């Protein structure tokens, strides 16, 4: 039995390595990212999280209306939890109506559906709509900002702090390019049914039609979001996302010199990413990569796999140069809980490890019968 198990593991490793030979003399030639005229920027792949270009990504900066990405994230979470509904109506306060800056043009004491207010925030960047939503959800904007910070902490946005729902200037209101990329990934991943509004080019409310300020929606059909922002202190900012042939990239540009500049720099980053990189899903999460022997259990086989899908982003035309290696613990003894770690998958390219993920038990295996345990104990003594 022991010999069969060892042969099985060897066969599995061979299968995983098939068509994945690294050529020792293969050089990965990737040009440097384009020069970006901005205080800070980042370009990353949505699925793998691989950063393809960056500058000052952890410098704390004023985000202007990019703040509203977090505002709508909080609202989306409230909708998901059932604490809000899209057709729920919000009474507009005088404070919301008076909020300066870009507006949806809601009116005092009028009732407006949450769905319309969300489009007012996302498409029209309405500060009045942002405050109205914040007050409806939390009672006042300050309490809503506390919710924003709680979600930021949960998402791992380590260098962000929000004081309002709009992005209007405030001394202790800041975030970073990296944190905004993290937040944008969460919005797209968790709420695809609401993310559709980010690609909406215009929205009409109160007989006033306003266009989305994201110029890339008109220039590049692969771009489907996300948000622009501007204040004198923040400069011109943009978070953009584009989907081409199944690969999605996210760019963040903060502190550009003009509206045209933020669009041009974002487009330059996105084109660079798609031109020189490609992303592949190598393994599916929660799917058995192998079935290994387990001792002293009520089952003889334990399926082992990844918690989540494994994506890698690599230089174009180097897919066949990937090398995958699976490592599984030699002796697994029951009881085992689902999710318990028993190995790893390493993926390398040109001698460099580009992904390392834990292999976990995909099901729980309890202790076996007394006879089974006694039998396996005898076999283990022969190991």
* Helix (H) or strand (E) segment spanning residue 310: strand 310-315
Q: What predicted TM-score, i.e. pTM, was given to this entire model?
A: 0.88
3 state SS of 378: helix
* Mean pLDDT estimate for the chain: 91
- Over residues 281-310, mean pLDDT: 93
pLDDT of 22 above 50: no
pLDDT-derived band at 25 (thresholds 50, 70, 90) equals very low
Res. 334: pLDDT tops 70: yes
In the chain, residues under CATH classification 3.40.710.10 are 46-276
| Alpha carbon distance 174, 376 (integer Å) | 60
CB atoms within 10 A of CB 53: 18
Three-state SS for 74? helix
pLDDT over 60 at 17, yes or no: no
- Residue 2: its pLDDT value, please? 40
In this predicted structure, what is the pLDDT of residue 14? 34
Topology of domain 46-276, CATH: Beta-lactamase (3.40.710)
Our answer to whether residue 65 is catalytic in this structure is yes
Q: What percent of the chain has pLDDT over 90?
A: 84
Lowest average pLDDT, out of 241-250, 346-355, 374-383, goes to 374-383
> pLDDT value at position 263?
97
CATH 2.60.410.10 residue ranges for the chain:
2-25+284-381
User: What three-state secondary structure class fits 110?
Assistant: coil
Beta strand residue intervals within 200-234, DSSP E: 202-205, 208-211, 223-231
13 has a pLDDT exceeding 80: no
- 3-state class of 19 per DSSP? coil
Over 70: is that where the pLDDT of 320 sits? yes
Is 199 a residue of the active site?
no
Q: How confident is the model at residue 379 (pLDDT cuts 50, 70, 90)?
A: low
* pLDDT, position 369: 79
Exactly one of 40, 62, 65, 251 is catalytic; which is it? 65
pLDDT digits 0-9 by tens, 196-233: 999 999 999 999 999 999 999 999 999 999 999 999 99
pLDDT exceeding 70 applies to what percent of the chain?
A: 90
Per the residue annotation, which of 40, 48, 62, 125 is the catalytic one? 125
Burial class (CB in 10 A: 0-12, 13-18, 19+), 199: middle
Q: What is the CATH number that goes with domain 2-25+284-381? A: 2.60.410.10
- Taking residues 17-33, what's their average pLDDT? 56
Confidence grade of residue 378 (pLDDT, cut at 50, 70, 90): low
Two tokens at 126?
Answer: 């309405």
- Whether a cis peptide bond, with omega within 30° of 0, leads into 226 is yes
Q: Left, alpha or beta for 60 (phi > 0: left; psi -120 to 50: alpha)?
A: beta
Convert the pLDDT of each residue in 297-313 to its tens digit: 899 899 999 999 999 99
Catalytic residue among 68, 215, 227, 357: 68
**HEC per residue, 287-312:** CEEEEEECECECCCEEEEECCCCEEE
Q: Is the pLDDT of residue 110 over 90?
A: yes
Provide the pLDDT for residue 367.
86
Q: Is 344 a known active-site residue?
A: no
3-class DSSP assignment, residue 379: helix
């Amino acid at each position: 039995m022991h010999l069969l198990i060892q042969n099985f593991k060897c066969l599995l490793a061979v299968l995983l390595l098939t068509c994945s030979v690294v050529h020792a003399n293969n050089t990965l030639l990737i040009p440097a990212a384009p020069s970006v005229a901005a205080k800070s920027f980042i370009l990353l792949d949505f699925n793998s999280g691989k950063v393809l270009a960056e500058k000052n990504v952890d410098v704390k900066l004023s985000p202007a209306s990019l703040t509203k990405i977090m505002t709508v994230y909080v609202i989306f979470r409230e909708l998901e939890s059932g604490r809000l509904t899209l057709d729920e109506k919000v009474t507009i306060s005088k404070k919301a109506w008076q909020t300066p800056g870009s507006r949806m043009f809601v009116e005092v004491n009028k009732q407006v559906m949450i769905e319309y207010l969300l489009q007012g925030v996302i498409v029209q960047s309405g500060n009045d709509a942002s405050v109205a939503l914040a007050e409806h959800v939390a009672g006042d904007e300050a309490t809503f900002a506390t919710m924003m910070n709680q979600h930021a902490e949960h998402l791992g946005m380590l260098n962000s702090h929000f004081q309002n729902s709009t992005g209007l200037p405030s001394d202790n209101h800041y975030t970073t390019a990296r944190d905004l990329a993290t937040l944008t990934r969460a919005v797209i991943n968790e709420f695809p049914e609401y993310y559709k509004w980010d690609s909406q080019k215009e929205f009409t409310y109160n007989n006033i039609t306003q266009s989305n300020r994201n110029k890339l929606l008109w220039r590049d059909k692969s771009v489907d979001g996300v948000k622009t922002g501007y204040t004198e202190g923040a400069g011109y900012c943009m978070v953009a996302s584009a989907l081409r042939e199944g690969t999605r990239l996210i760019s963040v540009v903060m502190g550009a010199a003009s509206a045209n500049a933020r669009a041009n720099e974002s487009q330059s980053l996105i084109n660079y990413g798609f031109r020189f990189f490609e992303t592949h899903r190598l393994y599916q999460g929660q799917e058995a990569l192998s079935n290994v022997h387990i001792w002293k259990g009520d089952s003889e086989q334990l399926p082992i796999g990844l918690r989540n899908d494994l994506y890698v982003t690599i230089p174009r035309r180097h897919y066949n140069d990937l090398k995958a290696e699976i490592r599984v613990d030699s002796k697994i003894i029951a009881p085992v809980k689902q999710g318990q770690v028993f190995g790893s998958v390493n993926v390398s390219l040109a001698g460099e490890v580009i992904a390392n993920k834990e292999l976990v038990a995909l099901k729980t295996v309890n202790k076996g019968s007394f006879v089974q345990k006694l039998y396996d104990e005898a076999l283990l003594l022969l190991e």
